[in-house]
Amino acid sequence: MIRQLMEKWDGGIQGFLTLPYTICEKRKGFYLHSLQELEEIENDLPISVQYGENVCFSVPETFERLGCAALKQALESEDMVVMDELGKLEHQAFGFQQAVEKVLDSENLTLCAIKKADAPFLHRLCSRTDIVLFDLDAESTDKIYAEIGKEMDRVRKRG
């Protein structure tokens, strides 16, 4: 849904996407893709390495370097910020967690996917009173898409 909303937006977009990578046609983890060019930091770095069906370990250095740089640059703009997605892998990336919260404290329109998981960082985000949360498992996807689309149109008109 976030990618569809990104296509609907006619302004600038910054932030990051979390994407899977495969080796020999098997998913072996995820990597972070910055939506903007960053100086001196390579893009598309791994944030997790998967071994076994449901076992993986995180690479907090990617969040701390690439993730923080992408969010810092996003804050220096008036563009919409996308964070797709936040989950348990960030549990030891404390600088990145602070950068996420700075984005949420900013005036930037922000779209963020938050994985349902038992983690203090995610609980802290979901307990904020200044954001609107939608549960894709409990609500109609079409209804959520329409509501977010209306808010994007309102922000666009506001200038």
Please give the chain's pLDDT, 159 residues, in tens. Answer: 999 999 999 999 999 999 999 999 999 999 999 999 999 899 999 999 998 888 999 999 999 999 999 999 999 999 999 999 999 999 999 999 999 999 999 999 999 999 999 999 999 999 999 999 999 888 889 999 999 998 888 887 765
Quick check: helix, strand or coil at residue 50? strand
Pick the CATH number of 2-158 from 3.40.50.300, 3.30.360.10, 3.90.79.10, 3.30.230.80: 3.40.50.300
Residue with tokens 């992408």: 70
C-alpha triplet 117, 46, 110: angle, nearest 5°: 55
CB under 8 Å to 117, separation ≥6 — which residues?
Answer: 87, 88
Pairing label, strands 45-50, 110-114: unpaired
